[in-house]
Amino acid sequence: MTVGKMLLFASILAAAAAGSAIAEEKIKVAIGQRQVWDSQVIPLGVEAGIFKKHGLEIDITWTAGGAETLQAALTGSVDYALTNGVEGVLAAYAKGAPVRIIGSEMRGAGDIYWYVKADSPIKTLKDAEGKTMSFSRPGSSSNLTAQQLAAKAGVTVKLVSTGGMPVTRTQLVSGQIDIAWAAVPFALDAIKKGEFRIVARGSDLANLNDVSIRVNVTTAAFLKDRAKAAQAFSRAYKESVDWMYANLDKSAEYWAKLTKITPELAKDGIAFYPKERLVPWPISGLDHSIAEAVKAKRLEKPLTPEQIKELVVEIK
């Protein structure tokens, strides 16, 4: 072999070695609800360099939080869809979608609360007999939570679908509804200032705190073709959750900047999310969710144990 060829060979080897060290695997994710705390796991994990450490480069597309998040994964446009309502995932799976649940995104409805104007006579839901209580849309978690909260307080309220949080807030202020719904950190600043008062929280439903309301999914194809990347992703995600709560000052500051609130208010908001609600494994309360899905007619019949085993995949 000539010197020239040896040099060429050596440089190719060097380039290959350097390439594999530098090149990160690219993973595309779709995340709904840009503003909420539990959606910050990946952005914070990326900021903290955790995903890079695991050899991953994450590309995030934000959605409005509806079915398009899951659809993006189903069309192959993204590898992971996060923050999906578990019942929607169950419905898609039952219709033949090759989805796989690989993590729990949020347990319980602790991120939702109901508030009233400061001068309202309602102190707790027990005072809300006959009043109007709002939720976002029929079938949403705010809908179900509102129903259960009212039942728990033993009152009959007029449940009204008011849509998004901004609209709902204005309707409360103008007197069209008595109790408005919101998710952290919406209106927390006004609540702190005393304009509004919280009268009920999703976390009041203790039994729900052990149910994975939102889950993270990927496709069967991804798990098969890119098993190593999937492993790295799950590990990095778990580490990111740990980091978020171990570095509350930094994560609160990041979230505060994003949502344009003060870091103190951010920390108040994070208090709504005890760490155990965000820990990605196991998928809690799946039987409960399946039963609810059947009741809501999103599933024709409960999933069989074989189906559940196929749908839920633990990645260590």
Partner 1 sequence: MPGRLAPALWGLAALFVLAAALEALVRWGALPKLVVAAPSDTVAAIWRLAAEEGLLRALGATLLTALGAVAAAVIAGLPAGYWLYKHPRFGLAYRNWLGALFAAPLVLVYPVVLVLFGRTYVSTGFMGFIVGFIAVVLYTREGLAAVPATLVRVGRAFNLTPEQEFWKILLPAGTPMIFTGIRLGTIYALVNIIGVEFLINFGGLGFVVSEAYDKFDIPGMYGAIVFVILVSGGMLWVLKRMQLWLRPA
Partner 2 sequence: MTRWGTHKIRLLTLAGLFALWEALGRTGLIFGEALPPISAIAAAAFNELAGLAFYHHLAVTLGEVAGGFVFGVIPGVACGLVLGARRVLGAAADPYIAALATTPKIVFLPVVMLAVGIGPGSKVALGAISAFFPVVIATVAGMRAIPAVFVRVGRAFNLGRGQMVRMVYLPALALPLVTGLRLGLGVCIIGVLLGEIKLAKAGLGFLANDYYAQYNFAELYAIVAIIFALAAFANAAMSRLVRRAEAHR
| Positions that interact with partner 2 (CB under 8 A) | 30, 34-35, 60-64, 66, 68, 71-72, 75-78, 164-166, 169-170, 173-174, 186-187, 259-260
For residue 137, the minimal CB distance to partner 2 (Å) is 15
Cβ proximity to partner 2, 68 vs 292, nearer residue: 68
Q: Which does 161 bind (CB under 5 to 8 A by kind): partner 2, partner 1, none?
A: partner 1
Amino acid (one-letter) located at 174: S
For residue 34, the minimal CB distance to partner 2 (Å) is 7
Cβ proximity to partner 1, 115 vs 254, nearer residue: 115
Q: Collect all residues with Cβ–Cβ distance below 8 Å to 245 and sequence separation of at least 6.
A: 251, 275, 278
Q: Collapsing DSSP states into helix, strand and coil, what is residue 76?
A: coil
* Longest CA span, the chain: 92
Handedness of CA 109, 285, 294, 151 (dihedral sign): negative
Q: Which does 259 bind (CB under 5 to 8 A by kind): partner 1, partner 2, none?
A: partner 2
Question: Which parts of this chain interact with partner 1 (CB under 8 A)?
Answer: 66-67, 70-71, 74-75, 88, 91-92, 95-97, 137, 161-164, 166-167, 170-171, 176, 298
3-state SS record for 154-196: CCCCEEEECCCHHHHHHHHHCCCCCEEEEECCCCHHHHHHCCE
Do the strands 25-32 and 56-63 form a parallel or antiparallel pair, or are they unpaired? Answer: parallel
Do the strands 132-135 and 158-161 form a parallel or antiparallel pair, or are they unpaired? Answer: parallel
The token pair that represents 220 in the structure block: 């069967």
Q: Which does 137 bind (CB under 5 to 8 A by kind): partner 1, partner 2, none?
A: partner 1
Cis peptide bond prior to 185, omega within 30° of 0 = yes
Q: Which does 127 bind (CB under 5 to 8 A by kind): partner 2, partner 1, none?
A: none
Q: Which does 307 bind (CB under 5 to 8 A by kind): partner 2, partner 1, none?
A: none
What dihedral do alpha carbons 134, 112, 129, 138 form, nearest 10°? 40
Cβ proximity to partner 2, 134 vs 212, nearer residue: 134
Cβ proximity to partner 2, 49 vs 66, nearer residue: 66
Q: Which does 92 bind (CB under 5 to 8 A by kind): partner 2, partner 1, none?
A: partner 1
Cβ proximity to partner 2, 74 vs 294, nearer residue: 74
Cβ proximity to partner 1, 132 vs 147, nearer residue: 132
For residue 71, the minimal CB distance to partner 2 (Å) is 6
Q: What is the DSSP letter of 23?
A: P
Cβ proximity to partner 1, 2 vs 75, nearer residue: 75
Nearest to 198 by CA among 89, 271, 304: 271
